[in-house]
């Protein structure tokens, strides 16, 4: 599953809105918003696009979220 916290943080760090991301990915902004909330998992090709736009690795986007239970 995609690390939604990282996805949102990377987007914000690059001063991009959800609408900006949707436009860069060629999808509806509502679709991107659902993806960022973890409601819709991205397909492999979309995951590669996300990594490219956010200048990161696909593996980073798939990294386990910190559960805070340490």
Q: pLDDT tier at 65 (50, 70, 90 boundaries)?
A: low
Closest by alpha carbon to 47, among 35, 31, 34, 65?
A: 35
Cβ–Cβ < 8 Å for 47, 3: no
Per-residue confidence (pLDDT) for residue 69, from 0 to 100: 44
Per-residue confidence (pLDDT) for residue 64, from 0 to 100: 76
Distance CA 36, CA 8 (A): 7
pLDDT in tens, 11-54: 999 999 999 999 999 999 999 999 999 999 999 999 999 999 99
Cβ–Cβ < 8 Å for 5, 11: no
Q: pLDDT tier at 70 (50, 70, 90 boundaries)?
A: very low
Around Cβ 2, how many Cβ atoms within 10 Å?
A: 20
User: Which structural domains are found in the chain, ordered by start?
Assistant: 4-58 (1.10.260.40)
What's the whole-number mean pLDDT along residues 44-66? Answer: 91
């Amino acid at each position: 599953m995609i690390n939604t916290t990282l996805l949102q943080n990377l987007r914000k760090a690059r001063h991009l809105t959800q609408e900006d991301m949707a436009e860069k990915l060629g999808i509806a902004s509502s679709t991107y918003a659902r993806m960022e909330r973890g409601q819709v998992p991205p397909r492999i090709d979309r995951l590669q696009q996300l990594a490219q736009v956010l200048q990161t690795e696909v593996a980073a986007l798939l990294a386990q979220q910190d559960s805070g239970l340490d």
